[in-house]
């Protein structure tokens, strides 16, 4: 009679996913056959707890097991499917066919290398507009898995070489048949590396990598924008036991600027001017993003909201040459504090108005007069 899956893992029937996962990992380490000299009893027990975990970690399988017990998986994952005995069943031929078609994609060595490769890392980097315009060299601090210094990233404290995992035969993956389908998953014993360490390093538990902080100098090209992603190859987490490291991805975020807004390579600024400057025209000076002063000519009669464009005064073009433009939006400011003499001058000006000075205003009120019947 088959042993109850919950009893195999030593957890109650109502255990949550975290408890089931923790119990399985503990038992998998204790019962792995490579830790017991290839003992057949330990190997059989290891396969049993792996089978139990495969069912209980899946909500649908677990619900079926709770209702029907082992009968729910007859002709399923125990290897007695309709295509013959063994975990692979009749799908072994399919695997060979796909391997010949897709080559390295189905190569177990390529799969092991992918499983052992370190994870990619993300770092959010904040820059000023000036740094984004000119480019910059930044020093960042990251905390990630790096090569273990105690064992020189080998994962072993002794001289004994790593040997192929007995559970997966060095493939890094194990198979289980479920009805008509064969499911392939990462080997829980070697965690996909295909190898087992005889004398695991106590500092890194045999992984060949440990968590530590490090500083890194990175070059930021001119012209980066909000959300720009920069890949730094090989600066991610270290791989298992000297395998290839992952990559580091920098995501750029721009600080707010007191003067400029940005639209691609175009810089946008707002410049309030007095109503007399708007009426008579003149010049204003604003600082450029490169530190140079930019002089803008105000044409007489400019209206609030109109823009002035300065060619080549914008942001650098990323991975290219040249710069965008600087666009200045004019805001005509109405005076709120007038001296007695200024008020008298404006009143005198008002007395001389004919309406032709402000044609838009004149036209608007003429249309209102017409709409109201004259």
The residues that bridge with 218 in the sheet, in sequence order, are: 138
| 314-349 residues labelled b (16+ CB within 10 A) or e (exposed) | bbbeeeeeebbebbbebebeeeeeeeeeeeeeeeee
Percent helix, strand and coil across the chain, each to the nearest 5: 35, 25, 40
CA atoms of 374 and 370, how far apart (whole Å): 5
3-class SS at 187? coil
CA atoms of 114 and 125, how far apart (whole Å): 28
User: How is residue 90 annotated by DSSP?
Assistant: G
Concatenating the DSSP letter of every residue in 103-161 gives: GGGG-HHHHHHHHHSPPPEEEEEEE-HHHHHH-EEEEEEEEEEEE-TTTTTSSBSSSPP
Cβ neighbours around 201 below 10 Å, total: 23
CA atoms of 346 and 228, how far apart (whole Å): 53
The residues that bridge with 273 in the sheet, in sequence order, are: 332
Residues annotated within the binding site are 148, 151, 165, 168, 187, 190, 201, 204
- All residues at 6 or more sequence positions from 342 whose CB lies less than 8 Å from its CB, including other chains: 335
Residues annotated within the binding site for Zn(2+) are 148, 151, 165, 168, 187, 190, 201, 204
In contact, 218 and 91? CB cutoff 8 Å? no
Cβ neighbours around 284 below 10 Å, total: 16
Strands 326-333 and 307-310: antiparallel
């Amino acid at each position: 009679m088959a042993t109850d899956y919950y009893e195999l893992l030593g957890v109650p029937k109502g255990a949550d996913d975290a408890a089931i996962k923790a119990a399985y990992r503990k038992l998998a380490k204790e019962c792995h056959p490579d830790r017991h000299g290839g003992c057949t009893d330990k190997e059989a027990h290891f396969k049993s707890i792996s089978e139990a975990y495969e069912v209980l970690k899946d909500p649908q399988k677990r619900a079926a097991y709770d209702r029907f017990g082992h009968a729910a998986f007859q002709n399923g994952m125990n290897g007695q499917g309709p295509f013959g005995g063994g975990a692979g069943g009749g799908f072994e031929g399919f695997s060979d066919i796909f391997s010949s078609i897709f080559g390295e994609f189905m190569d177990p060595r390529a799969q092991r290398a992918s499983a052992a490769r370190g994870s990619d890392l993300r770092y959010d980097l904040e820059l000023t507009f000036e740094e984004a315009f000119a480019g910059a060299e930044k020093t960042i601090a990251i905390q990630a898995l790096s090569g273990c210094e105690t064992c020189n990233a080998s994962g072993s404290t002794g001289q004994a070489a790593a040997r192929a995992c007995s559970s997966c035969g060095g493939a890094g993956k194990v198979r289980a048949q479920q009805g008509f389908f064969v499911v392939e998953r990462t080997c829980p014993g070697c965690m996909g590396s295909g190898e087992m360490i005889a004398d695991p390093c106590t500092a890194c538990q045999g992984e060949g990598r440990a968590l530590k902080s490090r500083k890194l100098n990175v070059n930021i090209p001119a012209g980066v924008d909000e959300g720009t992603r920069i890949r730094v190859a090989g600066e991610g987490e270290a791989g298992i036991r000297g395998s290839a490291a992952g990559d580091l991805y920098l995501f750029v975020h721009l600080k707010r600027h007191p003067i400029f807004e940005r639209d691609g390579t175009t810089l946008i600024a707002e410049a309030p001017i007095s109503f007399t400057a708007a009426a008579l025209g003149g010049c204003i000076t604003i600082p450029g993003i490169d530190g140079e002063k930019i002089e803008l000519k105000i044409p007489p009669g400019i209206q609030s909201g109109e823009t002035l464009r300065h060619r080549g005064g914008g942001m650098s073009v990323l991975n290219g040459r040249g710069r965008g433009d600087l666009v200045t939006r004019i805001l005509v400011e109405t005076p709120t504090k007038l001296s007695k003499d200024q008020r008298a001058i404006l009143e005198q000006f008002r007395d001389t108005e004919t309406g032709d000075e402000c044609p838009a205003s004149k036209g608007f009120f003429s249309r209102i007069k017409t709409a109201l019947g004259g």
